[in-house]
Amino acid sequence: MPLVRTERLTKSFGALVAVDAVTFAVDEGSLHSVIGPNGAGKTTLFNLLTGQLAPTSGRIVFDGRDIAGTPPHGIARLGIARSFQRTSIFPTLSILDNVWLAAFARQRSWRGLAWRRADRYSEVAERAMAVLGEVGLEEKAGEPAGAISHGEQRQLELAIGLAAAPRLLLLDEPAAGLSPEETKRMVTLVSKLKGRYTIILIEHKIDVVMSMSDRISVMHFGSLIAEGAPAEIQRSPEVRRAYLGGFAAP
């Protein structure tokens, strides 16, 4: 049973068709990767799924309802969270506040929004601290988010996504710009999430994608050119031509 699926989802910017009639489905509880060369339309696809962009045509069905055209804050409230390829955090706020805001946004009720002291929402604070513990940032909770290293900011980026307790988590190159050491840590983190969340992952590091994914969709010039289990994708001649080059086994 797919949690989210798209039907001929299309986004064009003038003459450029960034996402071209993409139809795919992501099963609940699976880790589904989207790969493809730079400019293939992967991030645009994410922006459509999260409402940052409105599709030119096509449908996005999440949990049985069409959500195409819903603004980002509405999509987030439905339980779709994302991390950004270029780190997107609140630099002057503390690390704890960064995740606190993500956790609070998903509270069913915002009672006391403008009056109750923020530190009185113990369940939000607990969730925030738990998530920081999960990514290994709990000791830096009080530091301003702008003051930590790039690697730590990537961890925070992931934590912000997790703090929303999402039904669907979109990870846009979580290991972007990380050192090999940091990448290893990030891969461990993401693989721990597998099974607990439904995840769509954009990633360039092919070995990472091949080892973690349940399914892989390959995009090229805005279109989906292949979809399948990692082994099938590795064998597909089309994919090799478009993307993998000499990577795949003989």
Partner 1 sequence: MSRAWLVTLATVVLLPVFVRHTIATEIWIFAIFGLGLNLLMGYTGLLSFGQATFFGAAAYAVGYLLKHYAINVVLALAIGVAVGAASAALVGYLCVQRSGLYFIMLTFALNQMFYFTAYQWTTVTGGEDGMPGVPRPEVLGLDIHAPLAYYTVVALLFVLALWIMRRIVESPLGKILQSIRDNELRAEALGYNVPRMKLVAFVLGGAFAGLAGVLYAMLFGIVPLEAIGFVFSGNVVFATLIGGSGSLYGPVIGSFVFIWLSESVSAIWARWPLLLGVAFVVVVLFLRGGVVEAWARYRAWRHASG
How many residues sit close enough to partner 1 to count as binding (CB under 8 A)? 35
Among candidate residues 174, 119, 121, the one with its CA nearest the CA of residue 142:
119
Cβ proximity to partner 1, 81 vs 137, nearer residue? 81
Which SS3 state, helix, strand or coil, does residue 223 take?
A: strand
- 231 φ/ψ angles, rounded to the nearest 5 degrees: -65, -40
How many whole angstroms separate alpha carbon 27 and alpha carbon 86?
A: 27
Cβ proximity to partner 1, 6 vs 83, nearer residue? 83
* Residue of 10, 52, 85, 234 that binds partner 1 (CB under 8 A): 52
Cα three-residue angle 124-47-129, rounded to 5 degrees: 20
110 makes contact with partner 1 (CB under 8 A): yes
- Which residues are CB-neighbours of 56 under 8 A, at least 6 positions away? 10, 11, 12
State the minimum distance, in angstroms, from the CB of residue 160 to partner 1: 7
The count of other CB atoms within 10 Å of the CB of residue 68 is 18
Among candidate residues 12, 22, 30, 8, the one with its CA nearest the CA of residue 201:
30
The residue whose two tokens read 């730079």 is 38
113 makes contact with partner 1 (CB under 8 A): yes
71 makes contact with partner 1 (CB under 8 A): yes
Beta strands 2-13 and 16-27: pairing type? Answer: antiparallel
73 makes contact with partner 1 (CB under 8 A): yes
State the minimum distance, in angstroms, from the CB of residue 243 to partner 1: 28
Site string for partner 1, 120-159 (x = CB under 8 A): -x--------------------------------------
Find the binding residues for partner 1 in span 78-107 (CB under 8 A).
Answer: 81-82, 84, 88-93, 97, 100-102, 104-106
Cβ proximity to partner 1, 60 vs 164, nearer residue? 164
* Residue of 37, 112, 133, 195 that binds partner 1 (CB under 8 A): 112
163 and 129 Cβ atoms separated by less than 8 Å: no
Rg (C-alpha) for the chain, rounded Å, is: 18
State the minimum distance, in angstroms, from the CB of residue 241 to partner 1: 35
Q: Which residues bind partner 1 (CB under 8 A)?
A: 50, 52, 71-73, 76-77, 81-82, 84, 88-93, 97, 100-102, 104-106, 110, 112-119, 121, 160, 164
